[in-house]
């Protein structure tokens, strides 16, 4: 692994490294100051050329791989959506490739999930659905680009929640752009994603067919993890052992049937059995293809039985009142009115 950049190092005479945010098999991410725009903080994603070359399915020369990286990075730079960090620059320096994007403050859902487990306070369905609505907004935007853009590594660790409560889908390390004249995809940095959130077809690299339903599977796996507190069985295990995916309502008895059905359909092994696009998944989850505001998803949709159960005291009181009113009506002829203080009320 190449040496990490130290604090104070300046790239392109503009980006001063503040500290390392994280690192992995694809490279590293740094927080940096933009010396040209006072007060601006950005994130630098560093991708090593040898990783670009080694992780590309084809045996194309390194210069072609880097050119491909620039073409894909230019697509990312054109994206503009409130639930995505804005990519503002990309460049090469000292044999390394860099993407520059907005630095997203806040915590990722992986950390939030760990904290909830430590305190034994599972995440609520309404809270998770609120995040899901924003995540689907981002995916719908990506998938409707021309050509469509796939993220291919959706998971709790790649979803951040800002202090203002806005969801941001981050880490474009495996992002791919669908080619209009090819059923396969071309990748910025080839990879297979994270096992628990990766559908079976993605393990084939560029020899397998991936499309928007690949992201839909990963989104379903992410929601499964957030609601149950445990990642779903991975696709390879499910292929070898059908039925190994535990039903969500076995783990979360209070979960609505609608949410469970939507997530399990998103997690279908064969792409044809999943929702064909984000709008279909949104309709399964929320009953509408339109984007929902936060206030609209704070209350999960309940069946009439669940509504009756949750309001059983009010229902019981109403039943008693109806019974009393019925009994009074039977005795209406003898009751001419009510006498109070010498005055008659209610009679004729």
153 is catalytic: yes
Tokens 């609608």, residue located: 258
Which of 217, 98, 228, 226 minimizes the C-alpha distance to 167?
Answer: 226
Mean pLDDT of 166-178: 73
Across the chain, mean pLDDT equals 80
- Separation CA 147–CA 268 (nearest Å): 25
pLDDT for 332: 58
Q: Alpha-carbon torsion 235, 240, 243, 244, what sign?
A: negative
Which of 113, 159, 109 minimizes the C-alpha distance to 136?
Answer: 159
* pLDDT over threshold 90, residue 193: no
Strand-pairing partners, residue 43, are 31, 101
* pLDDT over threshold 70, residue 194: yes
pLDDT for 306: 40
Q: Which of 121-130, 191-200, 285-294 has the highest mean pLDDT?
A: 121-130
Q: Quick count: other Cβ atoms within 10 Å of Cβ 313? A: 8
Q: What is the pLDDT of residues 286-345, one digit of tens each?
A: 998 777 655 555 434 434 444 444 455 555 666 666 776 666 666 655 544 434 344 444
How is domain 107-297 classified at the architecture level of CATH? Orthogonal Bundle (1.10)
* pLDDT over threshold 60, residue 97: yes
For every residue of 19-84, which 3-state class applies, written as one string?
Answer: EEEEEECCEEEEEEEECCCCCCEEEEEEECHHHHHHCCCCCCCHHHHHHHHHHHHHHHHCCCCCCC
Given the residues 108, 137, 140, 153, select the one marked as catalytic. 153
Q: Alpha-carbon torsion 300, 306, 309, 311, what sign?
A: positive
Q: What is the pLDDT of residues 24-82, one digit of tens each?
A: 666 788 999 999 999 999 999 887 766 555 544 455 566 766 777 777 788 888 999 99
- Which CATH number describes the domain made up of 10-102? 3.30.200.20
Residue 253 burial by CB count (10 A; 0-12/13-18/19+): exposed, middle or buried? exposed
Mean pLDDT of 266-278: 96
For the chain, give the percent of residues with pLDDT over 70: 70
């Amino acid at each position: 692994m190449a040496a990490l950049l130290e604090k104070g190092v300046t790239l392109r005479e503009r980006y001063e490294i503040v500290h390392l945010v994280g690192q992995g098999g694809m490279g590293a991410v740094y927080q940096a100051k933009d010396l040209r725009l006072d007060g601006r903080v950005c994130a630098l994603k560093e991708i090593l050329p040898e990783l670009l070359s080694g992780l590309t399915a084809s045996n194309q020369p390194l210069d072609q791989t880097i050119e491909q990286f620039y073409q894909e990075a230019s697509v990312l730079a054109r994206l503009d959506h409130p639930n995505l960090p804005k990519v503002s620059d990309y460049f090469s320096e000292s044999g390394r490739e860099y993407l520059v994007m907005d630095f997203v403050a806040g915590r990722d859902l992986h950390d939030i999930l760990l904290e909830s487990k430590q305190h034994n306070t599972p995440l609520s369905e309404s809270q998770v659905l609120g995040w899901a609505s924003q995540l689907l907004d981002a995916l719908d935007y990506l998938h409707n680009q021309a050509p469509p853009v796939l993220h291919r590594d959706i998971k709790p660790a790649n979803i951040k929640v800002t202090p203002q409560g806005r969801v941001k889908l981050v880490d474009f390390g495996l992002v791919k752009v669908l080619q209009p004249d090819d059923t396969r995809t071309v990748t910025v940095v080839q990879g297979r994603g994270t096992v628990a959130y990766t559908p079976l077809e993605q393990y084939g690299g560029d020899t397998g067919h991936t499309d928007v339903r690949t992201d839909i599977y990963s989104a379903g796996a992410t929601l499964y993890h957030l609601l149950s507190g445990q990642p779903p069985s991975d696709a390879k295990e499910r292929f070898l052992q059908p039925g190994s995916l535990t039903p969500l309502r076995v783990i979360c008895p209070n979960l609505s049937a609608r949410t469970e059905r939507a997530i399990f359909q998103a997690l279908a092994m064969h792409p044809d059995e999943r929702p064909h696009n984000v709008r279909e998944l949104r309709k399964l989850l929320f009953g509408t293809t339109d984007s929902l505001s936060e206030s609209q998803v704070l209350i999960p949709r309940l069946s009439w039985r669940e509504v009756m159960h949750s309001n059983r005291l009010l229902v019981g009181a109403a039943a008693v009142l109806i019974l009393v009113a019925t009994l009074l009506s039977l005795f209406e002829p003898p009751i001419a009115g009510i006498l109070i203080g010498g005055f008659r009320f209610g009679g004729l």
